Amino acid sequence: MNCPHTAAAPADRNAGAVAIDPLVRDLDGETARLRDAGVLARIDLLGVPAWTVTRHAEARRLLVDQRLVKDIDAWEPWRSGVVTRAWPLIGMIDAGRSMFTVDGAEHRRLRTKTSQALTPRRLEAIRPAIEEFTGELLDRLEAGRDENGVVDLKAVFAQPLPMKVVGMLMGVDESRHAMLTRQYKAFFSMLTPQDERLALLAELDVFYTDLVREKAARPTDDLTSALILAEEGGEPLTEEEVVGNLKAMVAAGHETTIGLVLNAVRALLSHPDQLRMVLDGEAGWDAVIEETLRWDTPTTHLLMRFATEDIAVGGEVIRKGEGVVVSYRAIGRDTGQHGPDADAFDITRPTRNRHMTFGHGPHICPGAALSRVEAGIALPALFGRFPGLRLAVPDAEITKLPVMTQNDIAAFPVLLD
C-alpha cells in the first residue's frame, strides 16, 4: 500500500490521535475508542491527521455549518502538496465535479435533477421491478447451495440486488453490472495498490463518459438521460458533472444497501427473540431497518469536509484548512442521543431516538429512500421464503472487508433451512 508522508501538524496537535485501521480488524473497538476520545476526536487517516465528530448533536450542527465545505482546495495539506494523488483515500475526496464535491447554489443545481428522479412517487413506480428482481435472486439463492447446503448470501442476493436496481435507474446494461461490482470493490479496498486504484478510476471515467455520450445521442427513460437533458436555471449540466454524479450515485446506491441488508440479517440472526417478534408481526420491518441503520451503520466514516475558518466544537478548535470526517458508526452509538443502552440492538427502541445515518443538511444522501425501499422489500421476502435461515459458520468468523469508509462484510455463508 502506497502511503504519503504525514501532513504537517504540530506534534502535540496530533498527540493521542486514534488511528483508523485500514484492515478493519476491530470495528467495535475502534468505535469505542473514538467515542472515548471526545466529541471531536483527533484521528490518523493513513498518515494524514484530521478531526472526526463522534456525537449526534454536534454532527447535526456541523453538517449545516457553512464554514465546512466539500471543496478540496480549502484543505491545507492538499494546497501545500503534503497530500497528493499517492494517498490511498484521495479518490474518495478528489472525485471530480459532482453534487458530492460542491456546495451552495452549485450543489443545488447539480443535485436537483437527481432528487427529482428519486421521489416517493418514482420509487413506488419501480417497486414492482424491485420485487421481481428480489424473487429472481431468491430463486438463485436456493439453487446456489453447495453440497453442504451453504450459499453466500452476499454474493448471490445482497450484492446483485442493489446493483441491478441502480443499474436500471441509471440505464446501465446488466451485462456491465459484474464489471462495475469488481471495479468498485477494488476501489474501496485498502489492499489495492494506489497505482492500480488510480488506473481503475480512469477506467471508470471512460466507462461513464461513453455511457453519457451514448445517452446524449439516444436518450432513454433513465436518470442518466434526465441528467443530460436537465436545464436548471437555464444552464445544463456539463459532461463532467453528469459523469461525476453517476460515478458517485452508482457507488453509493449499491454499497449502502448491501451493508444495510447484510447487517440487518446478521443482527436478527444474533438476536433470535427480536427476529421472532418480526416474524410474528409484533414489530415491523421498518423498525428493523431503522435500528440497523443506527446500530451497525453501512457507512462508518464519511470523508471529508474542510474548514474555511476556525470552528470551536466540544472544547476543541477545528482550524482553518483542517479536514473533518463524520464517524456515523460512533454517532449511532451516542449514549446522549440513544440512551445508556446505545450499544444494544433493540428494534423496540423509541422512535424519538432517531439516527442520522444518511446524513443531515444539504448533502443528506439522495438515495436514502431508495435504500430503505430495497431493504423493505428484500428482508421480508428473504425471511418469508426462508424463515429458518441461519449462519453456516459462527458469527465470530464473519469478517469485514478492508474498507475504511464502508461497513462491508467479506462473505455471509448461510443455510436456508
pLDDT reported for residue 10: 43
pLDDT surpassing 90 at residue 6: no
pLDDT reported for residue 233: 55
pLDDT digits (tens, 9 = 90+) for 17-76: 999 999 999 999 999 999 999 999 999 999 999 999 999 999 999 999 999 999 999 999
Confidence of residue 12 (pLDDT cuts 50, 70, 90): low
Which has more pLDDT, 251 or 82? Answer: 82
Measured distance CA(244)–CA(219) in Å, rounded: 18
Q: Residue range 210-215: average pLDDT? A: 96
pLDDT digits (tens, 9 = 90+) for 127-181: 999 999 999 999 999 999 999 999 999 999 999 999 999 999 999 999 999 999 9
Handedness of CA 256, 260, 263, 266 (dihedral sign): negative
Which has more pLDDT, 371 or 236? Answer: 371
Query: 3-state SS of the chain?
Result: CCCCCCCCCCHHHHCCCEECCCCCCCHHHHHHHHHHCCCEEEEEECCEEEEEECCHHHHHHHCCCCCEECCHHHCHHHHCCCCCCCCCCHHHCCCCCCCCCCCHHHHHHHHHHHHHHCCHHHHHHHHHHHHHHHHHHHHHHHHCCCCCCEEEHHHHHHCHHHHHHHHHHHCCCHHHHHHHHHHHHHHHCCCCCHHHHHHHHHHHHHHHHHHHHHHHHCCCCCHHHHHHHCEECCEECCHHHHHHHHHHHHHHHHHHHHHHHHHHHHHHHCCHHHHHHHHCCCCCHHHHHHHHHHHCCCECEEEEEEECCCEEECCEEECCCCEEEEEHHHHHCCHHHHCCCCCCCCCCCCCCCCCCCCCCCCCCCCCHHHHHHHHHHHHHHHHHHCCCCEECCCHHHCCECCCCCECCECCCEEECC
